[in-house]
Amino acid sequence: MNQAATPQTLQFHKKLVPHASEQRWTVEAVAELFALPFNDLLFRAQTVHREYFDPHKVQLSTLLSIKTGGCPEDCGYCPQSVRYDTGVTSQDLMPLEEVLDAAKAAKAAGASRFCMGAAWRGPKQRDIEEVKQMIAGVKSLGLQTCATLGMLKEGMAGELKDAGLDYYNHNLDTAPEKYDDIIGTRGYDDRLDTLRQVREAGMNVCCGGIVGMGESREERAGLLAQLANLDPQPESVPINNLVKVEGTPLADQEGIDWSEFVRTIAVARIVLPQSFVRLSAGRQQMPEAMQALCFLAGANSIFYGEKLLTTGNPEADGDRALFAKLDLQPL
Ligand code: SAM
Ligand code: DTB
Ligand code: SF4
């Protein structure tokens, strides 16, 4: 019988065919993954990795800070906040030609994506106009484009997408419970709202966080549960190990053991099976063997090139040598 749907029948059908958004990862379930014996966790992560990806391929993104320092926000990890004395000087938005030169160099070195970062709370409309030209120029070089410009206002994501932006990076940074210890000038909901706008504009989402900021394992699980429950899941998930910068409130933070970082990558791989998991900031401080374990745990993307935004990253030559040792190829 073709019966009109009532709230009750809808409820019934929802139970039969749960929508993706209802298949949620609980923090407890994610924490159980963290608690697996290390070798079991890595085996499981590698198995999931091979279901969806070629385990020998790693995606390479090169970063450029197009607007450095002087940021009004108070993110406790960040050397670019105007509130902390870190030695980073404030610069204006970079001229278009300089951005394109950097993009050409990144492409020549083998990067497939070029990510432009700006130390803004969010872009103003006149900034959008300039960044759109950068996006179009970088795209015309045959590179994938990514930008991380802070919080967006309605309409901006669509404009960026129309200019040729493939990915927008906006991180949740940490678990909701930990968030207020780290950032006071924008809320978790503000971040989710920008991510919604990016999705609605039809762009790929790059969204991850930072570990080693004094969070508990449960809070690391909380961050990964948040990321895993985004619907659809982000295409790209940067996992940053805090880069401790003198002058920031987190400069003396103890950080996490290498094994706990590798576990974090492995759990990310399991709960975000189809996402590119990027071994992100903090790689310069990691021994090669630790990076190798991260690739084994399912990391399949890196920042490539000697600089992140204001801090260092391994030299491209060194990364090429590491890839040769591990039989990895750029995607
Ligand atoms: N200003 C924009 C914003 O915050 O939305 C975009 C650039 S911001 C630098 C991009 C991301 O870099 C942050 O969300 C954070 O996850 C990461 N990041 C910044 N400083 C870091 C540090 N010292 N160590 C690790 N990751 C860091
Ligand atoms: C992300 O998750 N990590 C990158 C990128 N997205 C923009 C930034 C890392 C910044 C590290 C500190 C610095 O170099 O200033
Ligand atoms: Fe500003 Fe972004 Fe740094 Fe926060 S992370 S202080 S918003 S540049």
Q: 277 in ligand 2 pocket by Cβ < 6 Å?
A: no
- Ligand 2 centroid from CA 88, angstroms: 14
- Ligand 1 centroid from CA 50, angstroms: 30
Q: What are the Cα distances from residue 52, in Å, to 20, 46, 224, 268, 276?
A: 18, 10, 19, 14, 10
Residues involved in catalysis = 71, 75, 78, 115, 146, 206, 278
Q: 221 in ligand 3 pocket by Cβ < 6 Å?
A: no
pLDDT score recorded for residue 23: 63
- Ligand 1 centroid from CA 39, angstroms: 31
Q: What are the Cα distances from residue 73, in Å, to 15, 76, 82, 182, 197?
A: 43, 9, 8, 11, 21
Work out which ligand 2 atom sits closest to the CA atom of 148.
Answer: 7
Q: 234 in ligand 2 pocket by Cβ < 6 Å?
A: no
**CA-based nearest residue to 241, from 277, 270, 283:** 283
pLDDT score recorded for residue 82: 98
Q: Whose CA is nearest to atom 19 of ligand 1?
A: 78
pLDDT score recorded for residue 6: 37
Q: 78 in ligand 3 pocket by Cβ < 6 Å?
A: yes
Q: 119 in ligand 3 pocket by Cβ < 6 Å?
A: yes
pLDDT score recorded for residue 22: 58
Residues of the chain with pLDDT under 70: 1-23
Q: 71 in ligand 3 pocket by Cβ < 6 Å?
A: yes
Q: Tell me phi and psi for residue 48, to 5 degrees.
A: -60, -45
Work out which ligand 2 atom sits closest to the CA atom of 278.
Answer: 2
- Ligand 3 centroid from CA 289, angstroms: 31
User: What are the residue ranges of helices labelled H in 141-257?
Assistant: 156-163, 176-182, 188-200, 217-228
Q: Whose CA is nearest to atom 4 of ligand 1?
A: 150
Q: Whose CA is nearest to atom 7 of ligand 2?
A: 117
Sequence-separated (6 or more) residues with CB below 8 Å from residue 43 = none
**Torsion angle of C-alpha atoms 50, 52, 55, 56, degrees rounded to 10:** 150
The structure tokens 């790059």 sit at 206
- Ligand 3 centroid from CA 109, angstroms: 28
